[in-house]
Chain A
């Protein structure tokens, strides 16, 4: 968190704990997309990230479901924050989150049984997704309703974008299509490994490498020439 600490005092001093209530700014939303991206920066929610990103559609479905749960559970936690006793707060958050997960579970069954089958147990597992619990504990339980909703939306969109960036690469290499639309001829050779769990690790690792490289380059602009490697 050195990066945020450098940027000085005030509300941004700590990325996760807000001592005071935050007023609604554009940053409340944008933070979740980039600086506090749940997947690429905080490395939370790895389980669905690796498991259900073998196609763009699955990634989109998972991302939107999680965003829905994030927004509504965040809103409820934020509204009830003065009534929930501190000692039982985690249990209360879980009950609230589970309620909305059940809603999503039935909703997806109603919309598309195919998607439901593809996502499998991972819909129910949104209950224990640490992004949602993390947002409830670190943000929603301390902030007013509107900033919470906006922040949850930002985090959710950030999560969805991360899943999509994995899902599109894996689907493109794995079966030569995006959202089920075949982009190449029928002779396309799918990379079977991209459909398998190792493919998730490889693509996630590559994206992390890319984003860390971008961040490092921003901090230390272009090392000039060839610096001798310590041997």
Chain B
């Protein structure tokens, strides 16, 4: 048999870029961020990431088998979903809840729609939104970064028995004798007490927060690397960040004590991680260049609106899910004119 002759419709000339190559690169780009999360929060963060990734891959394997798609683990997309999900959860999040989140992410967010390439929304965020609604207390329980002994002992709530309430961490935190720990993330402190954390700390990541969202600098570097390799559309993160900064600016100028500075908006919370790694989800974002910018601006503006006027300190998750929902509409609005037509 002659294998060189390809008998099928065009395109016949292809680049070497394949789905699993891109996905592998994204996983590689997420590695430094995951490593930083483990260094910052210790063993609990490691277990959290392993749990979400493991359950996501298992769920993917099960549903792909059930639907007769064969083995789809090899495209690495489930690994990305699991890693991203783990990075958006608080480091002391009970592992059984993380497993629920990972299952929902793949099963409801992806498998039900037909697998990779058909999901309407970013699967990791679907999983996170589900546990945000199901376990609102656990997902807003934060533990301090750089706790002494974080590599030898777990945060007590990590190993909560399935279906049971998380073990309270207040006593454990008090036992650490940390100076200045208030139990809130910089984002929540800004919202409810109007105290802004130093920008350098928020930028480099020496703060509390979800496992992988703390270091804006590191996320920026990893994201830029992916964009430089053309594995994500640079327009989306840039317009998300621009939209957020430009919306925050007038409020900050009006009342710098009450509203956060644009720099703080960009470096705090999950905005940076979400802008580079979640909003840019290739499946769930618009395909046209103009559409990508519109979509990014929409997410950026909405994030700041939710942060400033909503009930929760962080809004980027809902902003992206809504952005995903209007994505197809934006795509159809911004179809380029066919050459030669009016």
Contacts and interface: CB of A to CB of B under 8 A. Distances in A.
B163 interface: yes
Nearest to B117: A231
Contact of B70 (A192, A194, A226): A226
Among A184, A188, A191, A202, the one with the most B-chain Cβ atoms within 10 Å of its Cβ is A191
Contacts of B134: 191-194
Interface of A: 176, 184-185, 187-189, 191-194, 196, 198, 202, 223, 225-229
* Chain A interface mostly: loop
A93 to B, nearest CB: 39
Interface of B: 65, 67-70, 97, 108, 115, 130, 133-136, 138, 160, 163-166
Nearest to A191: B134
A229 B68 contact: yes
Contacts of B138: 189
B137 to A, nearest CB: 9
* Chain B interface mostly: loop
Contacts, number: 44
Given A176-B163, A184-B163, A189 B68 contact: no
A198 B163 contact: no
B165 A187 contact: yes
B129 to A, nearest CB: 10
A71 B70 CA distance: 50
Given A226-B68, A227-B68, A191 B135 contact: yes
Contact of B133 (A187, A188, A193): A193
B136 A192 contact: yes
A193 B130 contact: yes
A198 B69 contact: no
Nearest to A176: B163
B318 to A, nearest CB: 13
B133 A196 contact: yes
29 contacts: A184-B164, A187-B164, A188-B164, A188-B165, A189-B135, A189-B160, A189-B163, A189-B164, A189-B166, A191-B135, A192-B133, A192-B134, A192-B135, A192-B136, A193-B133, A193-B134, A196-B133, A202-B108, A223-B68, A225-B68, A226-B65, A226-B68, A226-B69, A227-B68, A228-B70, A229-B67, A229-B68, A229-B69, A229-B115
Nearest to A202: B108
Closest 4 CB pairs of A and B: A193-B134, A193-B133, A191-B134, A229-B69
B206 to A, nearest CB: 32
Given A184-B163, A187-B165, A228 B133 contact: no
Contacts of B135: 189, 191-192
A223 B65 CA distance: 12
A192 B97 CA distance: 13
A185 B68 contact: no
A15 B138 CA distance: 49
A198 B65 CA distance: 28
Nearest to B69: A229
Contacts of A176: 163
A223 B108 CA distance: 23
A36 to B, nearest CB: 26
Nearest to A227: B68
